[in-house]
Amino acid sequence: MNLESRLQLVQEVGEEIITPEELRTLMETKQKLVAYDGFEPSGNIHIAQGLLRAINVNKITAAGIKFKFLIADWHAAANLKFEGNLETIHKVGEFFIEVWKACEMDFANIEFIWASDIAKDPDYWKLVLQIASNSTLDRVKRCTQIMGRKESDTLRASQILYPCMQAADIFHLKVNICQLGMDQRKVNMLAREVAPKLGFTAPVAIHHHMLMGLLQPSATDLSGIERIIDMKMSKSNPASAVFMLDSPEEVTSKIVKKAWCPAKQATDNPILEYAKYIIFGKNKELTFERPAKFGGPLTFKSYPELEAAFVGGQLHPLDLKKGVAVEINRLLEPIRKYFAENEHAKELLAFVRTQMVTK
């Protein structure tokens, strides 16, 4: 694959790239590039973390870039997930890995690394201390949105440590690229700021799109990253998210009966987002089955074609929702089958569901 084709794949993932010039230089000059992402094992896993993450990772690896996935168990403990119980957090992390395996994520080009393993290295904590020493408290507090917190929240000392740990991960893992969601932007900028002070090359940051929640966005005066975070799919409100092991009936109910999908509106429309980032991320076309009296089946071979038809009124919101629900269910069926047939995966799912009830 030539350079331009590789860049095109990466650009399909990056809603924001800091900086495009640095990325091009890296891909022109480096033989072995490594990207990184980290996940807190924090409970159930929705389609933004499952399907969409697999799509994005596979595009990055197809561009010739290896991936290091940090399972951030210590970070989850620092963020008080499952009351800091590392044994529980570790099992939830194993569940995440099984979901990605079922999604056909490119495991041949991915290395999974546990934060609890790198935390055994004294040099890692030296990095954490150096980053903390080169960052003001206010600067670190501005990063707390990376763990779903606000600057105004009452924070534990462990949560103040969290951004310094995440920045240290980048340097300790020796990666060239940070490939995380837009909600992680502030800590990537922190890492880029402190890199020259610590003798490191600043990593390129490739931030992917944050998938919207299903429900109508709240009226708010937020803008920029804060608004993106406010609107994103959230585990804390199960009605706003499609989870990877939701039943076909649950998926259909959430999308067809409850989802926000204003007619002829492309912006802030979660159903169009799922079509754009997930369905067309996997497939080359999307067909909507309709009775002949309503115009018969409609097939679209690209997302722009679909959006134009919806905005122009040729596709009704209910038809859009029904078609997207059918396709999301089709994409989730292999994951359901994997967890029904694989005993280890089945046990992990049962454990996670128990934790969701008791937490």
For the chain, the average pLDDT equals 91
Domain annotation for the chain: domains and CATH numbers: 3-208 (3.40.50.620), 224-358 (1.10.240.10)
Would the CA dihedral through 247, 252, 258, 260 be positive or negative? positive
Q: Which tokens hold the place of 135? A: 């960052």
Report pLDDT for 358.
45
Give yes or no for residue 154 having a pLDDT over 80.
Answer: no
Residue type, 234: S
Q: What is the DSSP string of 7-50?
A: HHHHHHHEEEEE-HHHHHHHHHH-SSEEEEEEE---S--BTTTT
Residue 152: pLDDT band (50, 70, 90) is: low
Report pLDDT for 234.
75
Residue 153: pLDDT band (50, 70, 90) is: low
**54-94 confidence digits (pLDDT tens):** 999 999 999 999 999 999 999 888 888 888 899 999 999 99
**240-251 confidence digits (pLDDT tens):** 899 999 999 999
pTM: 0.90
Report pLDDT for 16.
95
Residue type, 85: N
Report pLDDT for 166.
92
Pairing assessment for the beta strands 177-181 and 204-208 based on DSSP bridges = parallel
Report pLDDT for 317.
96
